[in-house]
């Protein structure tokens, strides 16, 4: 999909699952942001619906510093817009462009907060849900690595952006360094 805010046309049942999943994630973020939920709360297992492709991570695993006031306000606005659909399943239609644009905006915000892609069924051209690593450097004099790991599962699907303006003599850029692939 060329539009970053695009959202796939899904069957009504899959779209209902996607709405529930994204709303849950947004509510967790907002709860933590407004301190309505204890930040020391343990990470409990979460049911990820079949409509989500790949590993979206855990709902509580995000960087609170990424939840700016502007993002929190945008999340609240999008949650309010989508609650109508969550409460009235008969309104959910896969071809509803307004609904899909709203879901696309919510997904984009959540991807920024979580630092992970969230991909749904029928998005074959989009990488599966997973880790996103961004490492931008101005000048590299020593070693710059985006990801260094001892052991990594073969199912990991990281999206890595590793750039530098200048790599000086003796400098090194390595995007991924893995000792053992499981």
Query: Do 157 and 70 have their domain in common?
Result: no
Residue written as token pair 């492709």: 53
Is residue 4 a part of any domain in this protein? no
Tens of each residue's pLDDT in the chain, 182 residues: 335 567 887 888 888 999 999 999 999 999 888 875 555 666 566 788 889 888 888 888 888 888 999 999 999 999 999 998 888 888 888 778 889 899 999 999 999 998 888 988 888 777 666 666 777 788 888 888 777 777 766 666 666 777 888 888 988 887 777 777 76
Q: Strand pairing partners for 166? A: 139
Which of residues 98, 120, 142 is at a domain's end? 120
Query: Do 95 and 168 have their domain in common?
Result: no
DSSP assignment string, 120-142: ETT-TTSPPBEEEEEEEEEEESS
Query: Which residues span the domain enclosing 157?
Result: 130-181
Is residue 161 a part of any domain in this protein? yes
Is residue 3 a part of any domain in this protein? no
Residue 34: CB atoms within 10 Å: 11
Query: In sequence order, which residues have a C-beta less than 8 Å from that of residue 65 and are 6 or more positions away?
Result: none
pLDDT value of residue 38? 56
pLDDT value of residue 29? 92
Query: Do 144 and 115 have their domain in common?
Result: no
Query: Do 29 and 69 have their domain in common?
Result: yes
Domains in the chain, number:
2
pLDDT value of residue 121? 86
Query: Do 153 and 99 have their domain in common?
Result: no
Whether the pTM exceeds 0.75: the reply is no
Report d(CA 130, CA 112) in Å as an integer.
12
Query: Do 116 and 141 have their domain in common?
Result: no
Report d(CA 182, CA 149) in Å as an integer.
12
């Amino acid at each position: 999909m060329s539009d970053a805010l695009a959202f796939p046309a899904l069957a009504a049942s899959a779209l209902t699952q996607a709405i529930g999943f994204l709303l849950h994630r947004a509510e967790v973020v907002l709860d933590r942001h407004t301190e309505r939920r204890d930040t020391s709360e343990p990470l409990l297992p979460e049911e990820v619906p079949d409509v989500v492709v790949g590993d979206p991570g855990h709902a509580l695993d995000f960087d609170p510093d990424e939840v700016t006031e502007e993002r929190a306000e945008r999340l609240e606005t999008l949650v309010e817009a989508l609650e109508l659909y969550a409460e009235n399943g008969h309104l959910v239609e896969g071809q509803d462009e307004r609904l899909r644009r709203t879901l696309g905006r919510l997904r984009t915000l959540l991807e920024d907060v979580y630092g992970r892609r969230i991909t749904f069924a029928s998005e074959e051209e989009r990488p599966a849900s997973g880790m996103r690593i961004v490492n931008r450097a101005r000048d590299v004099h020593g070693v710059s690595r985006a990801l260094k790991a001892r052991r990594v599962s073969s199912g990991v699907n990281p999206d890595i952006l590793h750039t530098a303006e200048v790599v000086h003599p003796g400098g090194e850029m390595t995007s991924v360094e893995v000792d053992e692939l499981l």
